[in-house]
Structure 1
Amino acid sequence: MQPAKSFPPVPAPREGQRAARGGLTHTHTHARTRMLQVPGDGARATATMGSGATNLCGGLGLSLGLAGVLGRSCIFYEHPSVRGSLRHQGRALTGTEPGAVQCLQSECCFGLWNQSHILMQGCWSSDRDGCQGVACVPSPRANLLRCLCRADLCNANISTLGAAPQASSASTPSGPLCIAGAVLLFLGCLALLGLWRVKVFSMLLSCRARGKHAKGGPGPSSALPRDPPSQELPALHFLQVLQTGRFSMVWRGSLRGVPVVIKAFPAASDQHFAAEWGVLSRPLMNHDNLVQLLEARRGDGPSRRGGLLVMPLYAQGSLRYFLGQHASPWEGTVRLALSLACGLAFLHDELWRDGLYKPSVAHRDLSSQNVLVRDDGACTIADFGLAIVLPTSPEAWPRDRSPTAIRKLGTQRYMAPEILDESLDLRRWGCALKQADVYAFALVLWEILMRCPALFPGCSVPEFRLAYEAELGSSPSPTALRRLAVEQQRRPAIPQAWMGTRGVPGCLQELLEDCWDPDPEARLTAKCAHQRLQQLGPEPPLGGP
């Protein structure tokens, strides 16, 4: 059985929000379910942590020795009956007993167990979700117990499963015996502390000698999930430069004889390599409409000390190039639009499967240039260099972090009005970034629809133009774009023939307007936009008043 937890719905849209006139009803309310596969009644309880002085002294020694040096350290354990793994959330600290890991993504430890045995211990994927205390206090999750805590090795002492038994007064030591025990416990902890300091110091020297950390010193900010290996790929060949950008160079190449695209980052752009690698390498990120990561390496190719991401080669090229070369029939247009919406909806969703967790992710740079077209005519979202993992619940942007980190990023033409005028809601920045993605999706969808002859019966299909190109030209200035999209609230022109119709063109007009609405809270979610598009039939639209 898979225990599930239902989360509270997202707040309802504002009063006066446009009601859906066609397709599905617009709603932001949905239930999210997290699932973890747990063992049956016959599973073995194979691991419980040591008790008494062992746990206390071991935890104290590691905590004092590692805190502030390597980042948060947590006990790591996964029961054999749990399918999948969260091992990628931490880096193993060798020589520890029981096994400990250094967290890469957060400062939070967790434990998960039932009434018979421990299921999982390790690093949690977020600093949120109630991870405030230094003690791992259990909270019920269906028929499971979970605890979150914010201190080194704070998840070690969860060996007491279920309700803790009450100790009797007769078994409590007193007098000289109690004093002697306390002295021995203190001396033992001091001895372990000295041993762990020596171990940590030697481990740091070894890491620095191998060059695994940046010059600024080790820490979670300089670590990548499951460090990509640094050895070369003999079967990887660089053939032709396809594109040169600010942070990377894109090559056409081959891997074991198969055509691929190689994204090469110079050493100075290591943080951009780390960001894209950190998103694409997460569990459960495999999806038909998201670009697939084949290999990741360091220290290979033309950039040498930089990073490499190897991905499939899509011969059709970017969506921008494809639309410039092809006018798509109705069936092809629907396929492009549906696959783009499906990929974005998956990216925005949280997912628990077989004990693995995929967080919600905002792309932040969605454009027709960053969408690729497969040979079957479907879209694949690419270029995750600006993508960011979102919190599991609405929360404010930390005051000690500059808002510039989430504002003024991405391709200017596709920036939402709230980003252009810097009014993005920092109190609920996770939801706000997804709403900005939906605005960019609407502009790309408009570019797709404008190249469909079936939507222009009796007329020639317009030549391909980028969103706002007719109004502002090929290189709009920030001032002109802000005046048009924010102050005047204008959008790319919708053909007059679509307006006021009851057929498909009228539904498409409404879909565009509901996705690029000036009010971010009034926009559709990516999932709802995908559901609307699913209502479009395979037959070409006939239109009519």
Structure 2
Amino acid sequence: MERLGFSVVWCGAILFTSSLLSGHTGVQAVFKMHKLCRFCDFRPSTCNATGICLSNCTINSICEVQDEVCVAAWHRENMTVETVCHDPSLPFHGVMLDDYNNTKCVMKQYKALDPHFYICSCTTDECNDELIFTPRDVIQAVPIVLIALLPVLVLAVLIISVLYIYRMRALHQLRAKHGHKGPAHSYSDTCTIIGRDDCGTTLTNSMNHNTELLPIDLEILVGKGRFAEVYRARLEQRPCATGRAPFQTVAVKIFPCEEYASWKTERSIFSDAELRHENVLHFLTAEERMVEGQYWLVTAYHARGNLQDYLRARLLSWEHLLQLGSSLARALAHLHADRTPCGRPKTAIVHRDLKSSNVLVKDDLTCCLCDFGLGLRLDSALSVDELANSGQVGTARYMAPEVLESRINLENIESFKQADVYSMALVLWEITSRCTAIGDVKEYEPPFGKLQENPCVESMKDSVIRDRERPDIPNSWCKHLGIKEVCMVITECWDQDPEARLTAHCVIERFNALQHVDLSPEQKIPSDTVGDEK
């Protein structure tokens, strides 16, 4: 152990010192994080090539690739500014960026370009909002000063490393101590973590406030997203008073340490007790796994997987369509509501990334909404500026027209809900397209399936705004009276005008009415014709 500690200490010292000497911050040298940059097409500019000016861009975007940096380009001739994320290993307007390690966006002329064309690049969040034409004086550190500070830096690294080793040794001893007591004493009683009611059918959003981590064994990887991975896992625990152990199989969403902000956002929303609903993913606990350098969210596990994969593999009956569609609407209506079913005040929440891959299918064949990493609590105390800073987020394919254009009415928080309803309409279209009641069912494809796999915002603008396109609803679908009503709901939900769209609550009422529609035999496809797709 002492030999390991010695190695860790000196490796840490060398790494820390090398980071300083090479001009990188310690954290960035070890962990690469997705940058948050201003991201606009050309915007009018008042810059005059002197001093400091702003980009006039109000849209923030998380860069898709870890290595991308924030870039801004100023065109003197037409007085416009362009702000983007860009991979510095690739040319930008035909030139290679050679100053992308800056923390500030210092404008620079490139000889290969027009003399009236300036470019800057930088590595800190939103750094391409402030364009610097006259760099501020920066005091360059003299190598002699670094050499003088080197012993102090090494000592600091030594102290940190010793504390880390001490913590690891204490944790190892604690685990060894509990190991002799048997499994009944090696962890907290999970019944006290998730609440007494969890032995029944009611689930409680909770947090693990105990110092010990839950005994969770990861089994297999079942999903992988942009910020996290999801595993099926087994939670070992003592039985509750009823004699059975609930949630033996759970889902664990694991965020790496550099995605702490996403984990924190989702944990904050899940921790709201008023979020609890049968069609919202049941949250058990959140844990900070410092040893592994990870952040965990532990939730209920649904073996049928997400709705997109479910639709890709199966056809649906008319009854099954009603189940999926109505339960999805109930989930969204609960999120958007400012009161609970019991009448208690509740903060409305918008999902902002509603799509079929963020909806799970439960064993009772109803929908279950998940993945709140981009969720937003519509607190009445939020100012317009705070709402504006939430930026243009989500998946481009499912973005409403006003989100694509960044013209959401920030004076009215209902605008955020209307954008969610548009996304829900696309998911309802996906469900309907796989129902045998429409007649000839084609292979699954996502909304706007003719576009590339991950279309960008500009491509979606061309289709949704310029051409006013929507997923195709053939006339043959409407031969079934029930499907015809569902298609009317869909078209009203994806209306170009946000104010004209239905609310999620209205969609519930429409589906409830369809439950009682008396369909004649020739208008209703028997459910026994439904099965796995050949």
**TM-score for both structures, normalised by structure 1:** 0.53
Q: In structure 2, do the counterparts of structure 1 residues 241 and 352 end up closer, same or farther at CA, with 3 Å as the change threshold?
A: closer
Q: Does 1:344 align with 2:332?
A: yes
Alignment match, 1:365: 353
Could you tell me which of 369, 384, 387 is aligned with 1:397? 384
Question: Equivalents in 2 of 1:452, 1:289: separation in Å?
Answer: 21
User: SS of the counterpart of 1:291?
Assistant: coil
Paired amino acid for 1:520? P
Corresponding residue SS for 2:514: coil
The yes-or-no answer on 1:334 pairing with 2:322 is yes
Which amino acid is 2:443 matched to? E
Question: Tell me, what secondary structure is at the counterpart of 2:299?
Answer: strand
Question: Are 2:431 and 1:444 equivalent residues in the alignment?
Answer: no
| 1:270 Cα offset (Å) | 1.6
Matched, 1:484 2:467: no
Shift of 1:354: 7.9
**Residues 37-186 of structure 1 mapped to structure 2, 5 A cutoff:** none
Deviations 1:473-502 (A, max 9, x none): 433233221111011111000022245x69
Aligned to 1:255: 235
Match of 2:213 among 226, 233, 237: 233
Question: Offset of 1:233 from its aligned partner?
Answer: 2.9
Asked if 2 retains the 8 angstrom alpha-carbon contact of 1:230 and 1:297, the reply is no
Alignment of 1:365-384 (within 5 A): 365-384=353-372
How far 1:279 moved relative to its partner?
0.8
1-structure distance, mates of 2:279, 2:342: 22
C-alpha deviation, 1:235, in angstroms: 2.2
Which consecutive unaligned segments of at least 5 residues does structure 1 have? 1-208, 211-224
Deviation at 1:284, TM superposition (A): 2.0
Q: Is the 8 A contact 1:261 1:310 kept in 2?
A: yes
Q: Which amino acid aligns with 1:522?
A: A
Query: What is the TM-score with the length of structure 2 in the denominator?
Result: 0.54
**Cα offset for 1:517?**
0.2
> One-letter code of the match for 1:254?
R
> CA 1:503 to 1:293, structure 2 compared with 1: closer, same or farther past 3 Å?
same
Matched, 1:243 2:223: yes
Structure with more contact order per residue of length (Cα contacts < 8 Å, sep ≥ 6): 1
TM-superposed deviation, 1:260: 1.0
- How big is each residue's C-alpha offset from its partner over 1:93-152, in whole Å with a ceiling of 9 and x where there is no partner? xxxxxxxxxxxxxxxxxxxxxxxxxxxxxxxxxxxxxxxxxxxxxxxxxxxxxxxxxxxx
C-alpha distance in 1, partners of 2:359/2:249?
19
Task: Choose from 446, 462, 469 the match for 1:466.
Answer: 446
Q: Which residue number corresponds to residue 139 of structure 2?
A: none
Q: Is 1:325 matched up with 2:293?
A: no
Deviation at 1:543, TM superposition (A): 5.0
CA distance in 2, matches of 1:352, 1:312: 22
Corresponding position of 2:509: 531
Pick closer, same or farther for the CA change 1:353–1:492 going to 2, 3 Å.
Answer: closer
Structure 1 residue corresponding to 2:260, chosen from 260, 266, 270: 270
Q: Which amino acid is the alignment partner of residue 317 of structure 2?
A: P
- Count of aligned positions: 310
Contact between 1:318 and 1:372, CA under 8 Å: does it hold in 2?
yes
Give the 3 Å change call, closer, same or farther, for CA 380–226 of structure 1 in structure 2.
closer
CA distance in 1, matches of 2:523, 2:343: 48
The residue number in structure 2 matching 1:89 is none
Q: Which amino acid aligns with 1:427?
A: E
Question: How far apart are the structure 2 equivalents of 1:277 and 1:451?
Answer: 34
Kindly indicate which of the two structures has a greater share of residues assigned to helix.
Answer: 2
Whether contact under 8 Å (1:331, 1:540) holds in the other structure is: no
Coordinate RMSD, CA, aligned? 2.7
Cα deviation, residue 234, structure 1:
4.3
The 1:502–1:375 alpha-carbon spacing in structure 2 relative to 1, beyond 3 Å, is closer
Distance 1:331 1:483 in 2: 36
User: In the TM superposition, what is the alpha-carbon distance from 1:533 to its structure 2 partner?
Assistant: 1.1
Q: Secondary structure at the match of 2:384?
A: coil
1:505–1:543 Cα contact (<8 Å) kept: no
Question: Structure 1: how far apart are the matches of 2:301 and 2:480?
Answer: 41
Separation of aligned partners in 2, 1:227 and 1:356: 22
Q: Residues 230 and 305 of structure 1: is their aligned pair in 2 closer, same or farther, counting only changes over 3 Å?
A: farther
Residue 279 (str. 1) matches residue 308 (str. 2):
no
CA apart distance, 1:242: 2.3
1:413 aligns to what? 397
In the TM superposition, residue 402 of structure 1 has moved relative to its aligned partner by 7.7
- The one-letter amino acid paired with 1:490 is E
In 1, Cα distance between equivalents of 2:315 and 2:465: 31
Q: What is the DSSP-based 3-state SS (H/G/I as helix, E as strand, rest coil) of the residue aligned with 2:275?
A: coil
Judging changes above 3 Å, is the alpha-carbon distance between structure 1 residues 462 and 530 closer, same or farther for their aligned structure 2 residues? Answer: same
1:299 and 1:356 map into 2 onto residues whose CA distance is 35
The alpha-carbon distance between structure 1 residues 478 and 241, as it changes in their structure 2 partners (threshold 3 A), is: same
CA distance in 2, matches of 1:278, 1:402: 17
* Distance in 2, Cα, partners of 1:246 & 1:315: 21
Instruction: Quote how far apart the aligned CAs of 1:272 are.
Output: 1.2
> How far is 1:227 from its partner?
7.1
Once residues 505 and 243 of structure 1 are traced to their aligned partners in structure 2, the CA distance between those partners, rounded to angstroms, is 32
CA positional deviation for 1:396: 5.8
Match of 1:522 among 494, 500, 512: 500
Give the aligned partner of residue 374 of structure 2: 386
**Who is 2:298 aligned against?**
310
Change (3 A) 1:226 1:336: closer
Contact 2:349 2:376 in 1 (8 A): yes
Residues 277-335 of structure 1: CA distance to partner in whole angstroms, max 9, x if unpaired? 111111222110000011211126xx734321111111100000100111011111110
Secondary structure at the residue paired with 2:444? coil
Question: Structure 2, unaligned stretches of length 5 or more?
Answer: 1-162, 165-204, 238-247, 525-534
2:451 is aligned with what amino acid? L
**Residues in 2 aligned to 1:226 and 1:451: alpha-carbon distance in whole angstroms:** 37
Amino acid at match of 2:456: S
Task: After superposition, give the CA deviation of every residue in 1:13-37 in whole Å (9 maximum; x if it has no partner).
Answer: xxxxxxxxxxxxxxxxxxxxxxxxx
Amino acid at match of 1:448: I
Measured in 2, the distance between the counterparts of 1:439 and 1:377 equals 23
Q: 1:232 to 1:515 in 2, by over 3 A?
A: same
The answer as to whether partners of 1:283 and 1:358 remain within 8 angstroms in 2 is no
